[in-house]
Amino acid sequence: MKATALEIIVCPSCKERLSLRAAVRIDREILEGSLTCARCGTTYPIRGGVPRFVPRGEYARSFGSQWNWFRTVQLDSLNTTAASDDALRATTGWSDAQYGGRLLLDAGVGAGRFAEQAAGKGAQVFGVDLTTAVDAAYRNIGKHDNVHLIQADIFALPFRAHTFDLAYSIGVLHHTPDPPSAFARVAETVKPRGRLAVYLYARYGSSHHASDALRIVTTRLPLRLMWLLSAAAIPLYYPYRLPVIGKALRLALPISMESNWRWRWLDTFDWYTPTYQWKYLYPEVYRWFRDTGFEDVQLFDGPIRMSAKKGQVREPISDRDRLGHELVAS
């Protein structure tokens, strides 16, 4: 981590400032050390260049393995594609100019595919992940001057309210135990007039029914075994493309149909291993934005992709004010 991150990071419990003890430092990077809360005295370790606000991410542990096994697959800088940049643009609707000099939260950074793009556009990126996926992200992009990676729980983020100009959570909220609450925690960190974008799985159609049924079994299998079983998607891609039998196979035993074999393997593993995998409709997610004070909500293709601007923060209505209003109205 960089010492400059202390201007933004706070204790996740009491939201007070943290003091730094650097044990191992190389140039600007603090590789080992600790952070201690000035109010409650809780100490959090820094290991491998990453401040750790959680001991482990049990319900999301599959992602720790996933992103360390498939660390480089989705990075545009390494796979010579623009797939991550295109997906970021399709989810947020933000222009490149909107990133420059902005504080940005990547809620669920994974191996850093989107954080890499946001940092390249000039944002100061704070990438959070519950799992050891942050170690993969650190290896990929952690030493960039404008990237700060943190292992923390999305339900107890180490930031004060109204900190970030921009925030996104792409393909993450639906893997938490309580996606509406996770959304609210991320939304709280966005400044008034700031912007938030999300991508979630959709509940439209029937194509997900077979994979949902299979997940009852696959989520209970050892991750290493699922890593091997998911590799079957690599050769199965070819019979799955056949006109009649292929359609039947895709309905009965869905796999990723990505043309790149590494993406295909990764996506199939990603479908069948997470503990939680909720699916939503556009109106449900729209209510999340509305209920947390966002306006100008935009809906994009490829459900569910939505982006919005936060309205001005309003003072809460006191019980006395509410009572007076009710008496007048009656």
Question: In the prediction, which pLDDT does 327 show?
Answer: 32
Q: Which secondary structure element, helix H or strand E, spans residue 140, and what is its range?
A: helix 133-141
Q: Does the structure show a pLDDT above 70 at 314?
A: no
Question: Is the pTM for the entire model greater than 0.75?
Answer: yes
Higher pLDDT, 302 or 139: 139
Q: Phi first, then psi: what are they for 39, rounded to 5°?
A: -95, -60
What is the tens place of the pLDDT at every residue in 93-116?
A: 999 999 999 999 999 999 999 999
For tokens 């981590």, what's the residue?
1
**pLDDT tier at 322 (50, 70, 90 boundaries)?**
very low
Bridge partner list, 51: 46
Q: Where does CATH 3.40.50.150 sit in the chain?
A: 53-59+74-202+279-310
Q: What is the CATH code for 53-59+74-202+279-310? A: 3.40.50.150
Classify 132 as helix, strand or coil.
coil
Residue 330, pLDDT score:
25
Q: What is the pLDDT of residue 58?
A: 64
Arithmetic mean of pLDDT over the chain: 91
- Which of residues 302 and 261 earns the better pLDDT score? 261
Residue 181 CA to residue 302 CA, distance in Å, equals 23
Query: Is-contact 21 121, C-beta < 8 A?
Result: no
* Cβ proximity of 142 and 50 under 8 Å: yes
